[in-house]
Amino acid sequence: MGLPENIDALLVKHDITQEALARIAGVTPGSVTGWRKGSRPRKEAIARLCDYFNITEDDLISDHYGLAAKEHGRVPSGAKLPSEPRPAYAPLLGRVHAGDACEPDIIDDRIPIPYEVRSTHPDGYFIEVEGNCMSRVYPEGCHIYIDPRQQPRNGSVAVVSIDGADYVMRRLYNTGRTIVLSPDSWDDSYEDIVITGEDERTVEYVGTVVWFQPAEEME
């Protein structure tokens, strides 16, 4: 089952004529005839049909996940269907130490990221992890993707700046008067960083970790 069967299924499902479908798509009836014989619609026509009928591009063109397959019971009702992979990239801006607070190294690069992650957190960026303070969850050398707009909850892994310069990545706990930055490491030598209201120190939130991935593909 492919495009011709999906177009036929669309006509039957909405009980419309080929001429009506042509008007919705902004094409001639002859174009719809061509689709039903296997010719490929232009992207603009596909977009109009998807918007009008609230369907996806896969519904129109996919052999296995199109409307015809759904109508004939080949796809379970409510199933989450795969979509075509779309490329996305995010900037790699520096390195953050997962250990003692220190100034970040600056990097200027762009690396791939799953489209769904990038679209959900469009203002995010990557930082490379140095140190083993968070080795239970984020190994040294991996790339963490942080969202500067997502506020951390207690227990979230966040990147913070201490005293306006030094950056550190740890689990963040905030009681209102005390901020605790806790390690999550296989190395028991790391200790909490505790900052109270009486300390003359400032803590600036940089971002919450929402994704991570290895720096290189595994062989």
CA-nearest of 83, 64, 71, 62 to 10 is 71
pTM: 0.57
Q: Which residues of the chain are under the pLDDT cut of 70?
A: 1, 71-85, 97-108, 217-219
pLDDT of residue 180: 93
Domains of the chain: 3-71 (1.10.260.40), 89-213 (2.10.109.10)
- Hey, what amino acid is at 144? I
pLDDT of residue 109: 78
pLDDT tens per residue across span 100-155: 544 545 566 788 998 889 989 999 999 999 888 999 999 988 999 999 999 888 99
How is residue 36 annotated by DSSP?
H
What is the CB neighbour count within 10 angstroms for residue 103?
12
pLDDT of residue 208: 94
Tell the residue number behind the tokens 């991570």, with chain if given.
Answer: 212
pLDDT of residue 101: 45
